[in-house]
Amino acid sequence: MTSITCRRILLKLSGEALMGPDAFGYHGETLAGIVKQIDEVAALGVEIGIVVGGGNLFRGATGALSGMDRATADSMGMLATVMNALALKDALMAAGVPAQVMTAVTIAHVGEPFERDAAVRHLEAGRVVIFGGGTGNPFFTTDTAAALRAAEIGADLMLKATKVDGVYSADPKKDPSATRYDELTFDEAIARNLGVLDTAAFALCREQKMPLQVFSIFKAGALKRIVHGEAEGTRVVP
């Protein structure tokens, strides 16, 4: 196998990924599979930061659509991401992987308030750092939080874990003729309206020249193959 190509990565993990085939909450077997992939990469000496979403518990945008004030709904969504961060930390620790939760929303006795230098120290000490609370502000998605944290910790690569194995020309579930891209530039992805990340996250990644890898977290060993530089999913480059 090839040598490691990434010293430090930021993994964006959706809340929906944690619920697997279930309609809500957490699916034990799915969570164990995700933890196994993280453990494999951590064992290689790669420093791992994770931004986790909250869609398996609550979505701020959905709450706003039902008539709730958007800022209030987004605040509830941030709390859902903190719950997911705690669940992921617990699963990692149970597997013997050191982990630390840091939150953009201060909650005493739950996780450390996010502070860049402290996060880097945790990473350098070999801990997986799970960032909960999004950016700490309403109206921003966890995609944007992931791009922000990736830039702040000096990640070599941002990875977006999805249910499909990369970026397609159309929704492969709806269009059998959809083709998967092996590599794209940020400008191409925006021009083709592929919806890989939200606009703010895309702009930040492009400005920071942060490469992005979109892949399926449900393919065994996918994360390990990526850090070894092997072809997996779709690479989006500046």
In tens, the pLDDT along 90-105 reads 999 999 999 999 999 9
Residue 87 lies in a domain: yes
Tell me whether residue 14 is annotated as binding: yes
Please tell me whether 90 is known to bind a ligand.
Answer: no
| Domain assignment of residue 166, yes or no | yes
Distance in angstroms (rounded) separating the CA atoms of residues 195 and 101: 29
Write out pLDDT tens, residues 42-76. Answer: 999 999 999 999 999 997 667 666 788 999 999 99
In a domain? residue 131: yes
- Range 136-145 average pLDDT: 95
User: Is residue 51 assigned to a domain?
Assistant: yes
59 is in an annotated binding site: yes
Given a contact cutoff of 8 angstroms between Cβ atoms, the answer to whether 199 and 182 are in contact is no
Does residue 138 have a known ligand-binding role? yes
Percent of the chain with pLDDT over 70: 97
* Sign of the dihedral through C-alpha 18, 22, 23, 28: negative
Residue 1 is predicted with a pLDDT of 45
Judge whether 17 lies within some domain. yes
User: Has residue 166 got a pLDDT over 80?
Assistant: yes
pLDDT > 70? residue 80: yes
13 marked as binding residue? yes
The answer to whether 81 is a known ligand-binding residue is no
**Gap between the Cα atoms of 106 and 236, Å rounded:** 33
Domain that holds residue 180: 8-237
Q: What is the model's pLDDT at position 199?
A: 86
Has residue 43 been placed in a domain? yes
* Mean pLDDT across 30-40: 97
Count of alpha carbons within 13 Å of 111, Cβ hemisphere only?
30
- Residues of the chain with pLDDT > 90: what percent? 84
Q: Is 28 annotated as a binding residue?
A: no
The CA distance from 234 to 212, in Å, is 8
Task: Tell me whether residue 26 is annotated as binding.
Answer: no
Rounded mean pLDDT, 22-48: 96
Residue 74 annotated as binding site: yes
Q: Is residue 2 part of a domain?
A: no
User: Structural domain tally of the chain?
Assistant: 1
Q: CA of 87: how far to CAs of 3, 39, 115, 174, in Å?
A: 32, 16, 21, 33
24 is in an annotated binding site: no
Look at residue 29 in the predicted model and tell me its pLDDT: 96
Q: Is residue 1 part of a domain?
A: no
CATH number of the CATH domain containing 104: 3.40.1160.10
pLDDT exceeds cutoff 80 at 121: yes
Q: Is 174 annotated as a binding residue?
A: no
